[in-house]
Amino acid sequence: MPQDMQRAWQPADFCSVSVSEPPRLSPSEEQVAFAVGRADIEADAYFSDLWLIPTDGSGPAKRLTSGHRDMAPAWSPDGTSIAFMRYAHSVSGIDPRGQIFLLQLDNGIVRQLTDCLLGVDSFTWSPRGGEIAFVARVPEEGRYGTDPRVLPANEMPRRIGTLQYRYDGVGYTADKRRHIFRLEIGGSAQAQRIVQVTRGDHDNWMPCWSPDGESLAFLSVRHADSESRIAQDVFVADRAGTNLRKVTHTDLCVFRPTFSPQGDEIFFIAHINGDNHIDVVQRYAGLWKVPADGSRLPVRLTDEETIHLNERYNARGSANVRNLIWHRDGILAERPHRGSVELVHVDRAGKVTTLVGGERQVRGFDAVGSTIACNVVTERSWGRLVAIVDGKERILWEPTESPSQRLATIEPLEARSSDGYPVHGWIARPEGDGPHPVLLMIHGGPFYQHGYAPSDEVQAYVGAGYAVLLANSRGSLGYGQAHSRSVIGKVFSCDADDLLAFVDEALKDTCLDATRVGVLGVSYGGGMTNWLVGHTDRFGAAVSECAVNDWESFALTADIGYYFAQAYTSADPLAMRAKSPITYAEQVNTPVLVIQSELDWCCTMEQGQKYYARLKRAGKQAEMLLFPGEGHMLFESGKPRHRVARLEAILEWFQRHLRGQ
């Protein structure tokens, strides 16, 4: 359909988009298994199916499963079956307790392998087949349905003795520790056997097998001073969980360990935890290695200041988190860089080579032999599956978007902050000559980045006639560690100057209306929104969602608050108050819509409630929108109907206060 006949993007249109999850290559390199997800507005749930496609492009994709939320496919070493995670559909929606299922490819038979009370977090095949290591939370007796006679409201009280005892999207943690299990898979007529590998009052996760299948390496937090020393260690045990040894030294934040192909070393992603042992925020993670026997100290292989490797895949669901993947005597990793996410190869000496670059983002990959498969998105593509052989790319699959929807593109823009510092970002603009009303959309983190990726939120605002400004101010990811850590101890300072300078530069364009400018953001972006409207009257309306409004309160109530607040402000309550947007609520002259999720344990509900109440008591224009049953990531993975209601409420607010309608 010609573009001039297409309609503008609307808030519910994200439900019409199919999105590919990270792919998995068969042991023969001949096929790729992948999941395709979608949102269903009628069911108010997410679904995904497993698909199979040849890597040589010789045939169409074949659907393997349907009707559930199936994801994270993993081939058995002999290539005859695929294990995957299934989140079953019920009358009340999608069951969050995923279980491992096995699909036999020769006959299409699917059977369930696990029935864990709280579901399975993630899993990985043994290289010799017949066994799977998986992670599951083990509930205390009497909790979470272990006693069917006890309702949740009648469970015994929790006795808390730590600062960190709950986590957004997970709930309480000390009474359901993560442990590693070994699943022994019998034949089609045989029952499987499950053996618990780790035990104790600590978390264990991210298992990986040694090449011979005799040992498991995994991450765990077992040091007594875990709250004054934020770190994870790599442990190694035999497959039964015995002969346990720690091979790192409790001075790193560690992610995604994997054995070398020879089994003598363990490679992992990590960053240091600072001289005071809790200075972990905004640090660049790199590739490290350590002898598998722990006989020498870990060594960092990549440059700390310029190379950041993604700690985890940017995909919904912990089951999609993978151990590091070997390819041609090195590992593959994702590197955020100036709005893109590159696929890079890092050799044993730490040399980094970009394999997939450009104005796009890699979101999940796999490699077997000479073949790489990866999922790639751009600002105009919701994700295509690509096979790479000898440096040559072949598109295997891409989603079919509705031809009636008109998609906006982003244009690069660079500004200079008040101190001359460069600020990189983009403008997404609607069609027509304008002048268009403008929205400054501030990302969260701030250790995150706007960039070359599709956003249903940006599309919805552009579709409603707004130009959207997307700036990667200081604190953002992808411009070097110094850029990211420039906000440590002084948040809402140079980063605020960067954003205002970006707005000034954008408004030099006569197609943008300088008299109608709004601002919005989530989390840190919500806190920055409230900081800006408390210090300038240049915005006509604001939307602040799940925001950091009171650093002192955040330090005491948020799941990550006790070290995040100190990193961005200081341990001094007076300094926290000076950097808290709520301190300046009486100075706000901008209408503010406060959005809050009731189950947000990152920026807890009282953050939004206190800020809203302070505005109202000061006689300011303010409203609050509360979402039941949602956590911090409502904007990205909340219930589909809530996501639509959120976008519609934001658009109505700006329509009322920027357009007077």
In this prediction, residue 312 carries a pLDDT of 63
Is the pLDDT at 265 greater than 80? The verdict is yes
In this prediction, residue 1 carries a pLDDT of 47
Alpha carbon distance, N-terminus to C-terminus of the chain: 32
592-597 vs 541-545, strand pairing mode: parallel
Give percent above pLDDT 70 in the chain: 95
Q: Tell me the pLDDT band of 92, cut-offs 50, 70 and 90.
A: low
Instruction: Return the amino acid letter for 618.
Output: A
Peptide bond into 435 cis (omega under 30): yes
Task: Tell me the β-bridge partners of 630.
Answer: none
Is the pLDDT at 211 greater than 50? The verdict is yes
Domains in the chain with CATH codes: 408-658 (3.40.50.1820)
Instruction: Return the amino acid letter for 94.
Output: I
Is the pLDDT at 250 greater than 90? The verdict is yes
In this prediction, residue 5 carries a pLDDT of 59
Question: Greater confidence, 285 or 660?
Answer: 285
Is the pLDDT at 316 greater than 70? The verdict is no
Q: Tell me the pLDDT band of 315, cut-offs 50, 70 and 90.
A: very low
Residue 369 tokens read as 């032999």
Least confident among 495-499, 564-568, 580-584: 564-568
Q: Distance between CA 1 and CA 53 in Å, rounded?
A: 28
Question: Greater confidence, 523 or 322?
Answer: 523
Find, among 142, 84, 89, 91, the residue nearest to 114 by Cα.
Answer: 84
Q: Tell me the pLDDT band of 579, cut-offs 50, 70 and 90.
A: very high
In this prediction, residue 660 carries a pLDDT of 77
Reported as a single tens digit per residue, the pLDDT across 218-232 is 999 999 988 889 999
In this prediction, residue 381 carries a pLDDT of 86
In this prediction, residue 86 carries a pLDDT of 96
Reported as a single tens digit per residue, the pLDDT across 501-512 is 999 999 999 999
The DSSP secondary-structure symbol of 584 reads G
- In sign, the C-alpha dihedral spanning 467, 473, 476, 477 is positive
Is the pLDDT at 203 greater than 50? The verdict is yes
Q: Tell me the pLDDT band of 90, cut-offs 50, 70 and 90.
A: low
Reported as a single tens digit per residue, the pLDDT across 398-432 is 886 555 677 888 999 999 999 999 999 999 999 99
Reported as a single tens digit per residue, the pLDDT across 95-111 is 678 999 999 999 999 99
Q: Distance between CA 653 and CA 2 in Å, rounded?
A: 32
Reported as a single tens digit per residue, the pLDDT across 5-24 is 578 889 998 888 888 889 99
Q: Distance between CA 248 and CA 291 in Å, rounded?
A: 9
Question: Greater confidence, 513 or 408?
Answer: 513
State CA 6 to chain mean position distance: 32
Residue 271: CA count within 13 A, CB half-sphere: 21
Residue 532 tokens read as 């800006």
Reported as a single tens digit per residue, the pLDDT across 434-462 is 899 999 999 999 999 999 998 999 999 99
Is the pLDDT at 190 greater than 70? The verdict is no
